Amino acid sequence: MTGQRHATMVAAATLALTLTPLIGIFEGVGWTVPVLLTITVIATCGSLMRAAGRGQGLQTAAMCAGLLVVLTAGFGDGTAFLFVIPLPATFEHFGYLANDGIAGIVTNAPPVAAEGGILFLTLLGIGLVAILHDMFVVGLRTPALAGLTLLTMYLVPVSVAPDATAWFWFILPAVSYLWLLADDNLRRVSAFGHRFTGAGQLVSQRFPSPMARTARWSALGFIVITLLALTVVPTNTSGFIDRVAEDFEGGGDAGLGDVNPWAQLSGSLNQPEEIDVLRVSTDDPNPRYLRMHVLDELTSDGFGPNDYEEGGSLGDLSAEGSEVYTAEIENLALRAPVLPVYGNPAGVEVDGDWAVDDDTGVIIGDGSDMGDVDSYSFTFTDEAPDAAELAAAAGMDPGDERWEDNTSRPDVPEMSDIVERELGGASTVHEKVLAVLDYLSVSNGFRYSLQTTDAGNDEAILDFLATQEGYCQQYAAAMAWMLREADVAARVVIGMAQGERDGTEWILTSHDYHAWVEVYYEGPGWVTYDPTPVGGVPGAVSFPWATEPPPEDEPTQDPGATADPSADPSEAPSTAAPDPTGGVETPTGGPTAQAGDGGSGGGSGFDPAWLLLLPLAALPFVPALWRGLLRRSRLHPARITATTAWDEALDLALDYGVGIPDSLTPRQAAGVLAQAAPDAREAAAALGAAMARHRYSTQPADPAGLGDAVRDLHSELDKRAEPRRRYRAMFWPASLLATLTAKQAEESARLARRSARATDRVRAAVRRPRRSNNRKDRSVTGRP
Cite the beta strand spans of 538-644 per DSSP E. none
Are 454 and 505 in contact, with CB atoms under 8 Å apart? Answer: no
| pLDDT at residue 328 greater than cutoff 90 | yes
Task: Check whether 317 has a pLDDT greater than 90.
Answer: no
pLDDT above 70 for 347: yes
Instruction: Express each pLDDT in 722-744 by its tens digit.
Output: 888 888 888 888 887 777 666 66
Beta strands (DSSP E) in 513-636 are 513-521, 525-529
Cα 418 off chain centre by: 42
Q: What is the pLDDT of residue 534?
A: 74
More confident residue, 275 or 559: 275
Q: How far apart are CA 726 and CA 734, in angstroms?
A: 11
More confident residue, 647 or 107: 647
Give the 3-state secondary structure of residue 512: helix
pLDDT for the residue numbered 21? 77
Contact 475, 529 (CB under 8 A): no
Give the SS3 label for residue 327.
strand
Question: According to the model, what pLDDT value does residue 489 have?
Answer: 93
Taking only the tens place, the pLDDT of each residue in 393-450 is: 999 999 988 899 889 998 888 989 999 998 878 889 999 999 999 999 888 889 888 7
Half-sphere exposure of 440 (CA within 13 A, CB side): 32
Rounded to the nearest 10 degrees, the angle between the axes of helix 723-731 and helix 32-51 is 130
Confidence category of residue 155, pLDDT binned at 50, 70, 90: confident
Secondary structure (3-state) at 547: coil
Distance between CA 148 and CA 152 in Å, rounded?
6
Helix axes 666-676 and 642-655, enclosed angle (nearest 10): 40
Backbone angles phi, psi at 514, to 5 degrees: -150, 160
Q: Rounded CA gap, 180 and 186, in Å?
A: 10
Question: What does the CA dihedral 758, 759, 762, 766 come to, rounded to 10 degrees?
Answer: -170
What average pLDDT does the chain have?
76
Cis amide prior to 637 (ω within 30 degrees): no
Q: How many CB atoms lie within 10 A of CB 675?
A: 11
Cα–Cα dist 522/538, whole Å: 32
> How high is the pLDDT of residue 232?
54
* pLDDT score at 279: 92
Considering only 40-49, 273-282, 523-532, 726-735, which range has the smallest mean pLDDT?
Answer: 726-735
Please say if the pLDDT value at position 763 is more than 90.
Answer: no
Find all residues with CB under 8 Å of 144, minimum gap 6, and list them. Answer: 181
- Residue 773's pLDDT is what? 55
Residue 1: predicted pLDDT: 44
CA atoms within 13 A on the CB side of 740: 8
- In angstroms, the CA 287 to CA 728 distance is 78
Question: With bands split at pLDDT 50, 70 and 90, how would you rate the model's confidence at 581?
Answer: very low
The pTM of the full predicted model, rounded to 2 decimals, is 0.49
Q: Alpha helices of 468-518 — where are they, by DSSP H?
A: 472-485
Distance (Å, whole) CA 619 – CA 608: 20
Can you list the positions of beta strands (E) in 276-425? 276-282, 290-295, 297-299, 302-304, 312-313, 325-331, 341-342, 344-349, 354-356, 363-365, 375-381
Query: Rounded distance, CA 334 to CA 370, Å?
Result: 6
**Residue 51: partners with Cβ closer than 8 Å, 6 or more residues away:** 4, 5, 726, 727, 730, 731
Residue, of 734 and 171, whose pLDDT is higher:
734
Instruction: Please count the CA atoms within 13 angstroms of the CA of 30 that sit on its side-chain side.
Output: 12
Least confident of 75-79, 260-264, 334-338, 642-646: 260-264
Residues of the chain above pLDDT 70, percent: 72
C-alpha 301/C-alpha 168 separation (Å) is 38
CA distance 466 to 229: 62
pLDDT tens profile 186-219: 777 666 665 555 555 555 555 555 555 666 667 6
